[in-house]
Amino acid sequence: MRLILKSFYTLSVLFMAFSVLGQKIPLYPATEKTTIDGFEKDKEPPYLEFFKALPDSASGTTILVCPGGGYSHLADQHEGRDVAAFYNRHGYNVFVLHYRLNSPDQSGHRFPDQYRDVTTALRVIKSRAKEWKLNPERIGILGFSAGGHLASMATTMHLPAVKKAKSPLEQYNSRPAFSILIYPVIALSGPAAHRGSCEMLLGKNPDDALVDSLSTYNRVDAHTPPTFLVHSTDDQAVPPENSLLFYQALRKHGIPASLHVYDHGGHGYGMAPKDDALNTWPDLSVAWLKKLGY
């Protein structure tokens, strides 16, 4: 009897570990060097964690999640795996992106490495959609804070499909079907800018033209997908003007958009499980997705 209980306990722990960690999928071939020798945060190359929705609740839609962390670390639990668990319960397949990072001494990765990671991730998911039983036309993106900036680059800076390309990935475009941006960094210059994210992404003395180009509200156009935005009025780290600038650009170009600004919350609350007001945003995002047909 004790042996049976012990075996049951072991299986339960293994199941929980798998469900928490997800399936790890490398972004690049093992032969391609994407790490920097001696950089502590490069213990392994960029990868995806795949959390598949239960078959009886699957909506056919997939979300690529970009955790925040100022481009210097990844908040991959409360802005990654916890997010996957929520959307899985609502029938969405989820991939959490572990993208390349930098450090204050600038010994790590800078643009375009992170942009390449997010666009490669979208192309990998689309290219293996049949294998994973996903709909390649129903793959969107979600990002928090600096991960929101990364998601906003993917939202506004699409790589086209090149059908005759030698690389199988290049045969797929990188445009997400929809975008969900939670207290995102959008502006890299001006009063609303998050200087830390800008420095980690572009270095200490970036070219002004590049800074303006990657302030992604300047990139919104008629091809930008529908976008859902969340921010808090009292966000002292990333001012709410970031979401407002992006929302205004979406409106200018006639892109379906939903903006939710809470009167409290500050920054970095993820799914806000302990706040009955803030924790409404995940359900609102699901309702928005369903209205769009996702």
Predicted confidence (pLDDT) per residue in 233-280, tens digit: 999 999 999 999 999 999 999 999 999 999 999 999 999 999 999 999
Q: Provide the pLDDT confidence category of residue 47 given band limits of 50, 70 and 90.
A: very high
Q: How far is residue 221's CA from residue 208's CA, in Å, rounded to a whole number? A: 21
* Matching residue, tokens 């806000």: 272
By mean pLDDT, which of 43-57, 151-165, 199-213 is the weakest? 43-57
Q: Please determine, for residue 105, whether its predicted confidence score (pLDDT) is greater than 60.
A: yes
Q: Please determine, for residue 15, whether its predicted confidence score (pLDDT) is greater than 70.
A: no
Share of the chain above pLDDT 90, in %: 89
Residues constituting the chain: 294
Q: Provide the pLDDT confidence category of residue 154 given band limits of 50, 70 and 90.
A: very high
Peptide bond into 112 cis (omega under 30): yes
Give pLDDT, residue 116: 98
Q: Provide the pLDDT confidence category of residue 12 given band limits of 50, 70 and 90.
A: very low
Q: How far is residue 105's CA from residue 244's CA, in Å, rounded to a whole number? A: 32
> In this predicted model, which residue has the larger pLDDT, 14 or 68?
68
Q: Please determine, for residue 216, whether its predicted confidence score (pLDDT) is greater than 90.
A: yes
- For residue 63, the surrounding DSSP H or E stretch is strand 62-66
Phi, then psi, of 63 in degrees rounded to 5:
-125, 125
Give pLDDT, residue 57: 81
Q: How far is residue 197's CA from residue 177's CA, in Å, rounded to a whole number? A: 26
Q: How far is residue 212's CA from residue 198's CA, in Å, rounded to a whole number? A: 11
Give pLDDT, residue 207: 97
Compute the mean pLDDT over every residue in the chain, rounded to the nearest whole number: 93
Question: DSSP alpha helices (H): ranges in 128-256?
Answer: 129-132, 145-156, 195-202, 208-213, 241-252
Q: Which two tokens stand for residue 73?
A: 């670390």
Q: Please determine, for residue 88, whether its predicted confidence score (pLDDT) is greater than 90.
A: yes
Q: Is the pTM of this model over 0.85?
A: yes
**For the residues 108-114, what does the mean pLDDT come to?**
98
131-145 per-position pLDDT tens digit: 999 999 999 999 999
List the one residue out of 69, 44, 62 whose CA is nearest residue 125. 62
Burial of residue 228, with CB atoms counted within 10 A of its CB: 0-12 exposed, 13-18 middle, 19 or more buried: buried
Give pLDDT, residue 20: 58
Q: Which CATH class is domain 2-292?
A: alpha beta
Query: Is there a contact between 88 and 118 (Cβ–Cβ < 8 Å)?
Result: no
Sign of CA dihedral 233, 237, 238, 241: positive
Give pLDDT, residue 8: 40
* Matching residue, tokens 């929101």: 148
Query: Is there a contact between 126 and 161 (Cβ–Cβ < 8 Å)?
Result: no
Give pLDDT, residue 277: 97
Q: Please determine, for residue 41, whether its predicted confidence score (pLDDT) is greater than 80.
A: yes
Share of the chain above pLDDT 70, in %: 93
Phi, then psi, of 75 in degrees rounded to 5:
-85, 65
